[in-house]
Amino acid sequence: MFGSLKIAMVAILITGIAGAGMYVMKLRSDNAILKANQLKLESAVADQQELIASQKKDFEEILAANQKMNELVSALKKDLDDLDKRFNKGKRDVGKLAIEKTKLIEKIINKGSVNAQRCIEIASGAELTEKEKNATKKSEINPECPSIANPKYIPY
């Protein structure tokens, strides 16, 4: 009986050592998997930080473009108000005037159309000509949109 007890104790001891060895092997395997996952996670974090930096830069560019557009819209609104004041003086009837002085009104409208078309070109991104850049007198400017077409012109 004492011999079988020794055998049982040795079997339990061997089983315990084998179990501990398998547990250590599993821990090593888990550790390797965790290290690989950590590397992937660090790589993903770095990619996300680059993406965030890129998005911040894009956002700042959008804000700058929006600010520039708002300034342009403000200038165009001022020009539109000026045009409105020109056409709505007193009891002026442009239709009646057009019938009475057809050639004169046709010339004025044609010149205004050319000027307005140039305003649209400038607002769409066209470069200013040297003549437009250097215009300082009322006779030299584009009266339809002087704030964007003639930067050196200062109205009195």
Residue 55, pLDDT score: 96
Residue 90, pLDDT score: 66
Could you state, in order of their start, the residue ranges of all structural domains in the chain? Answer: 1-33, 93-156
CB atoms within 10 A of CB 79: 20
Rounded-to-integer distance, Cα 71 and Cα 63, Å: 12
Q: Which residue bears the tokens 């992937």?
A: 40
Residue 59, pLDDT score: 97
Residue 142, pLDDT score: 87
DSSP 8-state code for residue 141? S
| pLDDT beneath 70: ranges in the chain | 1, 87-90, 156
